[in-house]
Amino acid sequence: DTGVSQNPRHKITKRGQNVTFRCDPISEHNRLYWYRQTLGQGPEFLTYFQNEAQLEKSRLLSDRFSAERPKGSFSTLEIQRTEQGDSAMYLCASSLPTSAKNIQYFGAGTRLSVL
């Protein structure tokens, strides 16, 4: 168990460019979440996967955002035509199949800076 891994840790891009982040959850965790955290705020929910199915999306997830989880393992979050307002920390979390504990384990995040 090596924890939730996120890559890259930092990404600097120019406005209008596309970026993609990767999240590798803890093995055997079938639930995967993406959150966004802006400076001075708590994380906000973006989307949820159970295995490979994307079952819930927040209103924060505009059309420029797309997330995938092929084969129910790692997940990617892509932002197209980035805007300065997209600058934030993007956090990934995973949890076990059973709801009994409902504990989410977080990765260290990808910090995005849009210039």
* Residues at the contact surface with another protein, assessed by CB under 8 A: 3-4, 31, 33, 35, 40-45, 48, 50, 55-56, 91, 93, 95, 99, 101-109
- Minimum gap (Å) between residue 98 Cβ and another protein: 11
User: Is residue 40 left, alpha or beta, with left meaning phi > 0 and alpha meaning psi from -120 to 50?
Assistant: left
d(CA 64, CA 31): 23
What type of residue sits at position 22?
Answer: R
- Minimum gap (Å) between residue 16 Cβ and another protein: 28
- Nearer CB in complex with another protein: 59/71: 59
d(CA 21, CA 69): 12
- Nearer CB in complex with another protein: 79/107: 107
